[in-house]
C-alpha cells in the first residue's frame, strides 16, 4: 500500500485573527487555493479580502468557522494537514489530533468577484482609537447608527454616533480631520463596523460604498452605506 505524504503547515497568529474576525461577518467560509481569503456577509453589505503569508494547496470549506477556531484553540501549537475533504489538526508533538471534515462547497457563501471601486469623493484616515471611542459611546448611549459627515461649517469631517430614526437623540462625535470640500452625510449601521482592530485608510464614493484598507496588515473591507446617505459635492 502506497502512503501519500501530505505537507503540514502552521497558521500564523495574524491569519487566525483574520479568520476570527471573518467569523463575525459570516459563520461559514470557503478558502480557495492560494494566499487570499475572502468573506461576504449574508446580507451582502460587508465584504472583505485579505492576503496571508500561508498558501493553501486545496480548497477548504468550513461551515461553522467559530467551531473550527474553537477546535484549533484546543491545541497549544497546532499543525495542519489540509487534505481533499478534511483537515487533520494536531499538536506539534503529535500526541493528539482532530479530523475535521469540510462542508459541501456549494453550501458555502463565496466571493467570485472583486469590488471595482469608483473614484472616491471623500477620503480620510480612521484611527482605531477614534472608532473604538465612538463605538463605545454608541453602546453606552444605545445608538444604532454612525455617520461620517461634514461639520456645520464644512471645515471638518466628523464621525458621529446617533439614531437616524430619532432626531432628538443624544449624539457623540469625534473630529477625523479637515474636510477637502463638500457637504455630505454617509450613514452606517453600527453593527456593520466589523473590521479587525487597526487604523484604516477610508475611501467613500457617491455610489454609497466605502472601502476601508488596514494600514498595517493586508486586509480590506467594503461596507455598504445606508440609503439615507447624502452627498452634495
CA distance 226 to 145: 9
pLDDT reading at 7 higher than 90:
no
Rounded to a whole number, what is the largest CA-CA distance in the chain?
78
pLDDT tens-digit map of 74-113: 999 999 999 999 999 999 988 899 999 999 998 898 887 8
Q: What is the pTM of this model?
A: 0.93
Element (H, E) at 215: none
pLDDT of residue 110: 81
pLDDT of residue 6: 54
pLDDT tens-digit map of 156-183: 999 999 999 999 999 999 999 999 889 9
pLDDT tens-digit map of 202-223: 999 998 899 999 999 999 999 9
Please report, for residues 61, 88, 89, 131, the alpha-carbon distance to residue 8 in angstroms, rounded to integers and kept in the order given.
18, 9, 9, 39
pLDDT of residue 3: 43
Domains and CATH numbers, the chain: 13-107 (3.70.10.10), 122-231 (3.70.10.10)
CA 118 to chain centroid, in Å, comes to: 20
Residues 6-18: b if buried by 16+ CB within 10 A, e if exposed: eeeeebeebbbeb
Contacts 24+ apart (CB under 8 A), 74-82: 74/98, 77/10, 78/10, 78/11, 79/8, 79/9, 79/10, 80/8, 80/9, 80/10, 80/11, 81/6, 81/7, 81/8, 81/9, 82/6, 82/9, 82/56, 82/57, 82/58
Amino acid at each position: 500500500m502506497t502512503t501519500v505524504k501530505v505537507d503540514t503547515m502552521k497558521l500564523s497568529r495574524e491569519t487566525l485573527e483574520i479568520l476570527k474576525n471573518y467569523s463575525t461577518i459570516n459563520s461559514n467560509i470557503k478558502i480557495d487555493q492560494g494566499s487570499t481569503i475572502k468573506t461576504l456577509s449574508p446580507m451582502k453589505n460587508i465584504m472583505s479580502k485579505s492576503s496571508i503569508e500561508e498558501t493553501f494547496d486545496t480548497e477548504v470549506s468550513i461551515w461553522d468557522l467559530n467551531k473550527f477556531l474553537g477546535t484549533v484553540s484546543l491545541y497549544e501549537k497546532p499543525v495542519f494537514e489540509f487534505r481533499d475533504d478534511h483537515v487533520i489538526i494536531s499538536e506539534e508533538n503529535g500526541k493528539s489530533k482532530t479530523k475535521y471534515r469540510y462542508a459541501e462547497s456549494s453550501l458555502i457563501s463565496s466571493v467570485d468577484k472583486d469590488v471595482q471601486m469608483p473614484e472616491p469623493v471623500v477620503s480620510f484616515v480612521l484611527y482605531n482609537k477614534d472608532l473604538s471611542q465612538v463605538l463605545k459611546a454608541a453602546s453606552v448611549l444605545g445608538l444604532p447608527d454612525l455617520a461620517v459627515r461634514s461639520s456645520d461649517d464644512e471645515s471638518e469631517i466628523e464621525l458621529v454616533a446617533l439614531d437616524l430614526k430619532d432626531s432628538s437623540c443624544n449624539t457623540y462625535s469625534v473630529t477625523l480631520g479637515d474636510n477637502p470640500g463638500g457637504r455630505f452625510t454617509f450613514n452606517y449601521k453600527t453593527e456593520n463596523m466589523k473590521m479587525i482592530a487597526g487604523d484604516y485608510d477610508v475611501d467613500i464614493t457617491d455610489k454609497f460604498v466605502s472601502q476601508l484598507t488596514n494600514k498595517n496588515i493586508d486586509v480590506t473591507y467594503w461596507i455598504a452605506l445606508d440609503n439615507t446617505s447624502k452627498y452634495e459635492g
